Structure 1
Amino acid sequence: MKRLILAAAVALCAPAAVAHDGPVSTGAVQAVSEAAAPAVAAVDAFHAALGSGDAAAVLALLAEDVVVLEEGGAERSRDEYAGHHLPADMTFAAATTAEITRRAAWVQGDVAWVLTEGRTTGEFNDRPVDRLTAETMVLHRDGDAWRIRHIHWSSRAPR
């Protein structure tokens, strides 16, 4: 079902440049409604904070009850994520380069969905990294700010 939703989102995309903390290919595809732009900015700020090692900024963008799904595991709160994967995620983000290849985002009321596909390359723990990535983030509006309520990350080696 996730692949069907992602495929439908990608099919609706039109070529555009995409803002991100690293270089983006000119072939990147984006379908982001104007209403979703602030939520996308929150996702980009989250990744920038990860890459710069700013744990306080990362945590400020997460809802207290965030659920992070990665590699078959779950962290069910901001505190649990902070105490487990956050340090390694910051180290990994600092050592690698993430490129966005496709992105789609929508808002309905106070909820936003941001779907991002990309490629992450570099070296981590003395090993080369080359992964195709997929990320789903669900955010909610908290006053004037967007907070991340759910993250789902997956990746695979390119063929």
Structure 2
Amino acid sequence: MSRSLCLLAVAALSLPAGAVAAHDPAPLSQVEGLVQAEAAEAAAVVDAFHAALKAGDTAAALALLVEDAMVLEEGGGERSRAEYASHHLGSDAAFAAAVEAMVLRRSGWADGDVAWITSEGRTTGTFNGRAVNRLTAETMVLKRGPDGWRIAHIHWSSRAPRAVG
């Protein structure tokens, strides 16, 4: 699967939550309720990252990554903010802008200056003339520093929904 398809998974995680089976959006506050209070600011950074990608603001998205951020997807990785910027950032932003993403479940924890936010979602729409319908999973690990929470690690995956029948 393309990196952009996985970004779709990420973008899916930044929008309002809903139940997977019913596909009905639920208020974002229900999703946030699964995030420990100590991790709420880190979760807001994850949302800001996705919003920046969707808006095509790649500079804002990059500003939320630490310099040595690791982005893993489909068995491969980019090992720095600069490597991500030079490879998949543009296509990830284009993909996020073209599709609709929904967070279905989110959890988050923090321990000192480290937080991890896990999200599951669904992304639908059309990208490059092809229909998109993916269930997504994302893990982001964030570090708190002088500038606040920044993303140190992203792991994206997605799959086609199983047919009901």
State if a TM-score over 0.5 links the two structures. Answer: yes
- Per-residue CA distance 1:123-155 (angstroms, 9 max, x = gap): 001000000000000000012510000000000
Q: Which amino acid aligns with 1:98?
A: A
Residue matched to 1:88: 91
Q: Would you say how many aligned residue pairs link Structure 1 and Structure 2?
A: 140
Within the alignment, does 1:134 sit opposite 2:132 as a pair? Answer: no
Residue matched to 2:10: none
Gaps of 5+ in 1: 1-19
Gaps of 5+ in 2: 1-12, 18-24
From 20, 40, 51, the counterpart of 1:48: 51
- Per-residue CA distance 1:63-114 (angstroms, 9 max, x = gap): 0000000111100000000000000000000001110000000000100000
CA distance in 2 between partners of 1:23 and 1:42 (Å): 15
Runs of 4+ in 1 over 3 A off after TM superposition: 20-24, 27-30
The CA RMSD over aligned residues, in Å, is 1.5
Within the alignment, does 1:26 sit opposite 2:26 as a pair? Answer: yes
User: SS of 1:117's equivalent?
Assistant: strand
CA distance in 2 between partners of 1:144 and 1:89 (Å): 25
CA distance in 1 between partners of 2:57 and 2:26 (Å): 28
TM-score (normalizing by structure 1): 0.84
